[in-house]
Structure 1
Amino acid sequence: MQWEAACVALVKGLPDQHCRELMCGHGDWNSLKLHTVIQNKLADDFLSFEKSSSRLQKHVATMRSKLVVWDSASVSSEEDFPEDDYSAFIDHWASIQKGKSSKKYNELLRRIADDISDLSRKIMGDEQAQETLRTRRPSQTAMNYWLEIQGHTKRLFNRLTSAVSQGCLTHGHQARLQLSPPEIQGTEIEVPKFRYSFWLDPKVLPHSQQRGLWRDVAVVSFPTPESATPSQSPKITTKKTRFDLSPNDLSKPLRSCSSEVEIYNLCDALTQNCGKGCCLGLLPHGEWHYHVHDTTCKDRELESVGDILPYKGGKNMTTIERRAIALALATGVLQLFDTPWLRDSWTINDIYVDKREQACLFVMMELDAPLKPDPIERKNQSLLVHPNPRLFALAVALLELTYGAPLSSFREKSDGDDDFTELRIADRLTQRIKDREYGAFTSVVYRCMRPVSDDYEYGLANEGFRRRYVKDILIPLQQEYEDCVSRRRGVRSRNL
């Protein structure tokens, strides 16, 4: 892990395409451009770095020769030797066994490990390396947020459907929910905040407005003040203050909202315009108050992620775009499981992307439409294929983003035509993904295909498996995305 962090730090500042080529094994690690970047980064330590690097290469070359590993990094076999001379193969094998018994390999491996540690310290320094390792582990605050976010999403959905069914029966109510990771600042994390877009029917708009429109809001969750629910004991006590419509900076984590105006008709509240950050009112729901904050409405042009694959998927999508979409999808799976927003066997055609902002993903639904649960037969069938159908759907989505085409387009004759056809195709593409991707992204796809559980429970309703999901999938994707953003900022700062 320390060496991985050091390698990430070493290539930081390179253009995205150059970094991608290096990590996928297609780039030149001895190129002048990389040499210059490293020299500028290490300054006076560069000569020492070169010596350590040469020593490591020498030790690795020795190990390769001892184990008879070719330049392609493949291990030799009988087929690499002349058919009429198996003695050469036997001699090599005997030499390998002799080295193993004499503990020479262990000593050589120890030297390689020491070289790697030495290079890591030169690149990052001991304290910085340890700090990098710490940032790749979720804090307890962040973990608690991830464990509870689905409950917040489900409660808010129930409150919204209640609001539209009681307050406005003249038209249907469409809503979009944006999929976005939380904003974490050190050990502090924002209160649960959801970005919605609601469709306002012309019937509820002023006569001058001939057509309906989408209204963007941020719904922020706060514990109900004690004075509002005397029979309950909420986790956090919020002091009750007078009504205030002062704007809030929604780009920063919120801790409280002073508005006391209760929303009785959601459509009427959404037609108000009090300015960015102002609170339009609150929706009380047991131990929680959901405050609806005004935000700047954007003219969005949405299409399904599946529709963008022909011209935007695969190599036509930048690494940072793919990482952003992957993180949003993984966030959505954890946030929306067992809610009406996302069905069990979802596909990328159920997720929508803003053409102008590729990183903005949405799910859509009719709040007052009757819910259609998945047939029990289909659920049982899906569990036979994969222990968690939602996780398998995420693996398929990541593969389709990587390869730039629907999974079905990669079907081969040997894949058959039964319930396991998709699984066979996905498994084959997963085995080949290292030819196209690098870093933690590949391990995330593997983990989606072959999840690990400490107690053989693979449902996200199980807290232990949710913790695994956060550690094995969410955090690696979040770190990869942040690394891509950091590299892009480094390139831009040098070009200024």
Structure 2
Amino acid sequence: MAELALAVVPICLVAIKGINTVRKRLKTFYRYGREIKRLRKRFSAQTDIFFDECQLLLQEILDRKDAEAMVEDVNDERWTSATLEEGFRTYLRRKYRSYGETMCEIRDHIASLNDSLNNGDERDLQILSSENLRQAFDMMVNKSKYETSLSDLKEAISDLKRIRKTAGKLQNLPERVCGKRPRDLPISYRRVAQNSKSFYDALQAFWSCLRPHHVSHEVRLLLESRTEDSLRIVVMYCTSSGKQPRDNLLELIVHSRSLHLLHVSIPSGISSGRVTCSEERPKKTRRVRFVGECSDLARHGEEAGTASTTLTSATEPHVSEEVGLNLCSTRDMCTQICSQAHHIGYFDAPDHIRHQLSPVHDRGECIVKNMLSEPAQLDRIFELPVERAISVPQQVSIALRLARSVLRLHSTPWLQPLWTLRDLSYFQTDECLATSLETLHITNELLHQRLDSVMTDANVLVQAQRECGIRNLTMHSLGVALLQIGQWNSLKPDDIADVRRIADLAGHDSRLGPRYQKIAQRCMDCDFGFGKDLAQPELQNAVYRDVVCELESLVRTLEG
């Protein structure tokens, strides 16, 4: 009975770890016989089914990508969430106890197989060939014992599958759909917020450029990246002769990781020579704002790259080729970034996050290679006839992309509290509008703001809230953006009276329907039942649930 009190999550983790160990063990001597290969194949097939079952149950509680990542990595921080076990209990209900018992059986079967393979010894998997041969012979002699264990494992996994399916059928459809929808803001959203803010602040602090003909620099952050653990940016600079599309753009992938998770071995005696962002660095000649002439810099790439690498090797012998050049140690970060053809380097932010930069090489993935002209502001899409430019599901998808981005970036310098569609841009390509809008991005210049300017902006925001009765400027801006997308018409966001008049009319006549308009209105009013401070987790969860998840559901419904 004591075992029944064990929670499902830790039992599941033990089973997954055991499976990984047995798989490695079988791999060390599977070549010693055809029967062993067959046993290994049967074991892999059953454990794949077990992993699928774990992911399917997790998907009833979490986002699909989160569930998949957790099954792949037993050290994923989401396994330690206090709400995960409660989510299992809520979904399984009366089947929770049976599910836990069956999970215990699977764990025990895996442990039994592991003990048999290791003869009760916790030795390293890299053992002598003679020992491998002996254990392989033992497996062939006692083949029936292993086959029985595999059959028992198969039966237990089948029971696990049956219990999960039964638990799902016992719930009526509305509850099941509700249960499958994540209730809390995914951890990945907070991770993007943390990494993007850290990257922006560090770039502002350490950016340098020694080229006098560079007038200004911009960095454009794409709202959607290829993976959750990376940022996608386009660096663009302007020269005294003006902007030159293609030639002055560089597309980069930024991978961010906590320095606490990186195990970099530094040989003794050279640590004092390391140059980091937080230490004293060479004085910059000038600081500039952040926008391209990478083709021009490419001519100097060999010289600049070689010189910088040589200097770095002398002062930072511990830096490996894997992480590249420490960009904080260079006087001219602009040249270094634009001249490196394959691996650019990294810089360590003061908040102990390492940002690794690498260029996009795949021509099909590269935005710069496919763009036709200068980036266009988002509100330019309303100049196109909506019926021919975009489908209804794609129209809602634009709103969905904005809602996700607000939750990811509202706490960062990338997104100001009072924003409009003109603050967002996209790269025009020869593809359809929906494809071009996949490059939707937000732009910031690398320029230090004066304190009095920041205080003035803050005073304007407070005044706007008081005079217009706006509860939350960020959510109001999102609501106005959604209203314009729904109406396919550009509005003047600062004309609050006109915006509210159009919102009232849209409730009766909207191309996207009343459900969409209700979402837009709730954003404008910040009407979610959890106050008006978007820094509060409760309000973030409510916005995610009632805006992002609702828009996702609406897209699925419209796509049929």
Normalising by structure 1, report the TM-score: 0.54
Report how far residue 226 of structure 1 moved.
5.2
CA RMSD of aligned residues (A): 3.8
2:464 corresponds to: 381
1:15-72 CA distances to partner (integer Å, 9 max, x unpaired)? xxxxxxxxxxxxxxxxxxxxxxxxxxxxxxxxxxxxxxxxxxxxxxxxxxxxxxxxxx
Aligned residue among 218, 243, 247 for 2:320: 243
Report how far residue 243 of structure 1 moved.
3.2
1:79 corresponds to: none
CA distance in 1, matches of 2:489, 2:553: 26
Aligned residue among 516, 532, 535 for 1:461: 535
Report how far residue 350 of structure 1 moved.
1.4
Structure 1 residues 481 and 161 mapped into 2: Cα distance closer, same or farther (>3 Å)? farther
2:233 corresponds to: 196
Report how far residue 421 of structure 1 moved.
0.9
Report how far residue 291 of structure 1 moved.
0.8
Report how far residue 196 of structure 1 moved.
0.5
Identity %: 18
1:473 and 2:547 aligned: yes
**Structure of greater relative contact order (alpha carbons < 8 Å, 6+ residues apart):** 1
1:441 corresponds to: 516
1:267 and 2:328 aligned: no
1:361 and 2:440 aligned: yes
Aligned residue among 289, 294, 303 for 2:359: 294
Number of residue-to-residue matches in the alignment:
313
2:251 corresponds to: 216
SS at match of 2:367: coil
1:346 and 2:422 aligned: no
* Letter paired with 2:443: M
SS at match of 1:358: helix
* Letter paired with 1:269: Q
SS at match of 1:407: coil
CA contact (8 A) 1:200 1:215 kept: no
* Letter paired with 1:176: R
The aligned runs of 1:94-243 (5 Å cut-off) are 132-137=177-182, 143-164=186-207, 166=208, 168=210, 170=212, 171=214, 172-180=216-224, 183=227, 190-191=228-229, 193-200=230-237, 212-224=247-259, 225=262, 227=264, 243=320
CA distance in 2, matches of 1:315, 1:390: 31
2:95 corresponds to: none
1:186-243 CA distances to partner (integer Å, 9 max, x unpaired)? xxxx32x21100015679xxxxx9994210011111111255899xxxxxxxxxx983
CA contact (8 A) 1:284 1:290 kept: yes
* Letter paired with 1:397: A
1:329-388 CA distances to partner (integer Å, 9 max, x unpaired)? 112322332544333221111111232212321112221364654251443223543201
CA contact (8 A) 1:177 1:194 kept: yes
Report how far residue 149 of structure 1 moved.
3.1
1:412-433 CA distances to partner (integer Å, 9 max, x unpaired)? xxxxxx9741453243144225
SS at match of 2:344: strand
Structure 1 spans left out of the alignment, 5+ residues: 1-123, 184-189, 204-208, 231-240, 245-257, 410-417, 488-496
* Letter paired with 1:271: C
* Letter paired with 1:158: D
Structure 1 residues 442 and 428 mapped into 2: Cα distance closer, same or farther (>3 Å)? closer
CA distance in 2, matches of 1:180, 1:423: 28
2:478 corresponds to: 394
SS at match of 2:221: strand
2:507 corresponds to: 431
CA contact (8 A) 1:453 1:465 kept: yes
* Letter paired with 2:462: K
